[in-house]
Structure 1
């Protein structure tokens, strides 16, 4: 789980640098860490980004990992994401 989060966070600056914009990434991250968002609603909200059943299954498992966390942990992830967005490294994107 931690490795997946690290890899996802490592890819953020590259995604932004590619010129596709970070609004989509921020939307997905917000949906992922939202404890009120169910797996079904999560999949429905991200349908445009899901190319097939394998990706949907992986996203369901990924979302469940976040649903299993405490609200304190989810809040800390949100704080961490804000720190990343406001960091010097991300400022140029």
Structure 2
């Protein structure tokens, strides 16, 4: 956690940032302990699977088509549209 925070701070504040300091992670967890908890993770695919259906798939591509038309964006200029978990092939995946 400390390494990630240092990277974020370096990116925002530049190389002059000295780092968050010793025991930062411990102090952070103590300060925010009532808001932090442990939990089991679940595969994201199961979460996406519940959200993707014929209606949301159609709504996404209608929205995408509207934006492409509104801003005159060619279809070959869009990248990673499938990264949201919806594919033009009716949401079917491997």
Question: Which structure has the greater CA radius of gyration?
Answer: 2
User: What band does the TM-score fall into relative to the shorter chain?
Assistant: under 0.3
TM-score (norm 1): 0.25
From the two aligned structures, give the one with the greater helix fraction: 1
Higher relative contact order (CA 8 A, sep 6+): 1
